[in-house]
Chains A and B, each alone.
Chain A
Amino acid sequence: DAKTTQPNSMESNEEEPVHLPCNHSTISGTDYIHWYRQLPSQGPEYVIHGLTSNVNNRMASLAIAEDRKSSTLILHRATLRDAAVYYCIRGSQGNLIFGKGTKLSVKP
């Protein structure tokens, strides 16, 4: 199974950090881990990706377990605009294989 496993939903308070987990226990050595998010009625938007090392960009951080069987997307300070469905995806052979994602709600 090429899909990943994520919780269906999570809640966060505004301005607090959010840790979104993802399991990908059957990942192969060459598969990248991508995170995209989808705001209501919009197309998915790239967030971050990585292979083995932890990654940081202006939007988020990605922490990848040493065995690569799991990863965590970290939003350092959630805002109301971060409310979206977050997809953890294995990039395999150039194709992104989406699961159902985690719906993140942010409370003011």
Chain B
Amino acid sequence: NAGVTQTPKFQVLKTGQSMTLQCAQDMNHNSMYWYRQDPGMGLRLIYYSASEGTTDKGEVPNGYNVSRLNKREFSLRLESAAPSQTSVYFCASSDSSGFWETQYFGPGTRLLVL
């Protein structure tokens, strides 16, 4: 099992460009998440999908859109990138969205917006 995979690993964008970060999991999990991590900080939740066909905003959703393409895949789109979106982006999945559930994280995508 690969677990949670993310593409690309690194990306450099110019201000105003758009891009989509891809995430896939092979654990048959129902819930998936997107987080961002700024230097020296903990992770902050951007969006999550409790189950296929649903998405909800997290703590910092502005400037992002998400798509739960199917049970395996959850993508994060930046329509018009800004320097403030320079960060490391982590995707995670869990069996359900219950309080007790363990989340499994991908290796991250490092994004630099110039």
Which range contains the number of A residues in contact with the other chain? 20 to 34
Q: Report A's interface with B, CB cutoff 8 A.
A: 30-32, 34, 36, 41-46, 49, 51, 87, 91-101
> In the complex, which residues of chain B have a beta carbon less than 8 angstroms from the beta carbon of A99?
42
B44–A96 contact, CB under 8 A? no
Assuming the A-B contacts A95-B45, A98-B43, are A49 and B100 also in contact, with contact meaning beta carbons closer than 8 angstroms in the complex? Answer: yes
Which range contains the number of B residues in contact with the other chain? 20 to 34
- Nearest A residue to B90 by beta-carbon distance? A43
**Count of A-B residue pairs with CB < 8 Å:** 61
A44–B99 contact, CB under 8 A? no
A49–B102 contact, CB under 8 A? yes
Assuming the A-B contacts A43-B90, A43-B106, A43-B108, are A32 and B48 also in contact, with contact meaning beta carbons closer than 8 angstroms in the complex? Answer: no
B99–A91 contact, CB under 8 A? yes
A30 CA / B96 CA spacing, docked (Å) = 16
Known: A45-B105, A98-B43. 8 other contacts (CB 8 A): A31-B99, A43-B106, A43-B107, A43-B108, A94-B31, A94-B97, A95-B58, A96-B103
> In the complex, which residues of chain A have a beta carbon less than 8 angstroms from the beta carbon of B102?
34, 46, 49
B42–A32 contact, CB under 8 A? no
- Nearest A residue to B100 by beta-carbon distance? A32
A92–B103 contact, CB under 8 A? no
> In the complex, which residues of chain B have a beta carbon less than 8 angstroms from the beta carbon of A93?
99
A91 CA / B97 CA spacing, docked (Å) = 10
B90–A94 contact, CB under 8 A? no
A41 CA / B36 CA spacing, docked (Å) = 14
